[in-house]
Amino acid sequence: MDPMFMALSYFRRRKYDECANLCTKMLEKNPYDQAVWSLKTRALTEQVYIDEVEAEEVGIAEVIMDDNAVAQVARPGTSMKPSSSGRSTGTSPAVRPTSQSGRPVSGFVRPGTQSGRPGTMEQALRTPRSAQTARPVTSASGRFVRLGTASMLSNKDGPFINMSRLNLNKYAGRDNLSKALFEYIFHHENDVRNALELAALATEKSQYKDWWWKVQLGKCYYRLGMYRDAERQFKSALKQESIVDTMLYLGKVYQRLDQPLSAIDIYNQGLEKYPGEASLLTGVARVYDAMDNQEEMAKWYRHVLDHDRTNVEALASIAADYFYNDHPEVALSLYRRLLQMGVYNVQIFNNLGLCCYYAQQYDMTFKCFERALLVAEDLEAADVWYNVSHVAIGIGELNMAYQCLRLAVSIDNSHAEAYNNLGVLELRQDDIDKAKVFFTSSQELAPGSYEAHYNQATLSQSLGDLQTTYISTMRATEAFPEHVDSKDLLKVLKDHFTSL
């Protein structure tokens, strides 16, 4: 059989290793075969390809060294950043759990939702590594660390393409080679500088009439943090050719610039031309979710389900919204639907157990948690044991709840909520010293959570330590300004200090 036909067959069947190896053997016989060379670059690219449309996590370095911020305090409803109080203004943390940055926990984990990062560099350095989701470095450094070294594995004698000896000007004018070469440089080699140079030369060779090259220029500018230049390239590409991916790229730029309303406008413009496009509908829903507008988020996810009944993200997000709005029966039916669709993981059984408990279907509650523990891996079991402790507290089994929380802490020693609840149980047993230790641990692990601060304040007040009470109450008020008990306690303290 013809080796080229076999290589193409491997590529179509996504057997990229076999395809690249066969291409290498053919290139040893004829190093100037452009078809084989192009096919090998595509095979190597597909091995490490990352969809650039998806938003990635924003590291603490991007937050601290943001050159694109126009105003420190944005108008309400125009920013995806938490307010100056340390959290968003829409959802109460007493109803729905929030991350350390103050954003409500999403119903579906995707890039950009793990925003439990600290708000300052000092807080990042103080927070244990296991308790934060973003290192105090740029997010791009970790995401593409493998891609820069993968090229050395393609050939035992060195890289497949020697970038230092590559004449980019010669390849820029060859349409049959330039695009495959760009994707190889951009994705496989992670050499954004050379990729940008090639894209600029190819755009010039095409007399600025090829929208594809403009999109690639925008991707390079975005990777380099030049968001305004990326915006211009994507807008220019949309004028020549209206493509859904380009709209998603442009929306991603606006989200990084913290201009969610502009991103929504771009998505709506795309929906006018491509009505019912699930990716655009999902993009609008994600922006509203990031803005903590849960009502609009749920509405747009329902639009997604109108056109795609099997969209896992929409089903999971709507189920979480129903659960936190006191409709566990509806959430239970949606999670059961996900289970029927083949979603089989610890999260789905954990959520089913919680829904069964709050829907008063106690016979199924522990069965769901048992199944969740069977499929749980590593730190996932800690959250399951923590939820089982809540069920135990609800049925009055405080000893069982204590053991469950101990198991959660033994699995994940950075579980702040478990430490807080252990402190409450110890306080019920009048063990003040242990309760104080647990509350302090919870405060250190989750400084943005108000419960541990408030519990520490009430404990210190009962012990007569007014200074600690005042400090903890102020921290609880900063984390949750609408908390009535914290306000009342703060008022009592101020009256006491005034009388002195």
- CATH 1.25.40.10 residue window(s) in the chain: 345-499
Token code pair at residue 355:
């829904």
What is d(CA 260, CA 159) in angstroms, rounded to the nearest whole number? Answer: 41
Provide the Cα torsion 451, 455, 458, 462; round to 10°.
180
- Chain centroid, CA 244 distance in Å: 22
Model pLDDT, residue 50: 83
Q: How far apart are CA 259 and CA 443, in angstroms?
A: 33
Q: Residue 299, exposed/middle/buried by CB under 10 A (0-12, 13-18, 19+)? A: middle
Give me the pLDDT at residue 175, please. Answer: 83
Mean pLDDT by 10 residues, the chain (500 residues): 92 94 92 91 92 68 57 67 51 65 66 51 43 37 42 52 82 88 92 93 93 95 93 96 94 92 95 94 93 92 94 94 93 95 93 94 92 90 94 93 95 93 93 93 89 92 87 87 84 72
In 3D space, the residue among 253, 202, 251, 267 whose CA is nearest the CA of residue 223 turns out to be 253
Burial class, 187, CB count within 10 angstroms (exposed 0-12 / middle 13-18 / buried 19+): buried
**Tokens 């670059």 belong to which residue?**
41
The whole-number pLDDT of residue 383 equals 92
Cα distance between the two ends of the chain? 96
Length of the chain in terms of residues written = 500
To the nearest 10 degrees (0 to 180), the angle between helices 398-411 and 380-394 is: 170
Q: 3-class secondary structure for 112-140?
A: CCCCCCCCCHHHHHHCCHHHCCCCCCCHH
Task: In whole angstroms, give the CA distance from residue 285 to residue 217.
Answer: 27
Which amino acid would we find at residue 481? P
Superfamily designation of domain 345-499: Tetratricopeptide repeat domain (1.25.40.10)
**Two tokens, residue 407:** 């198991």
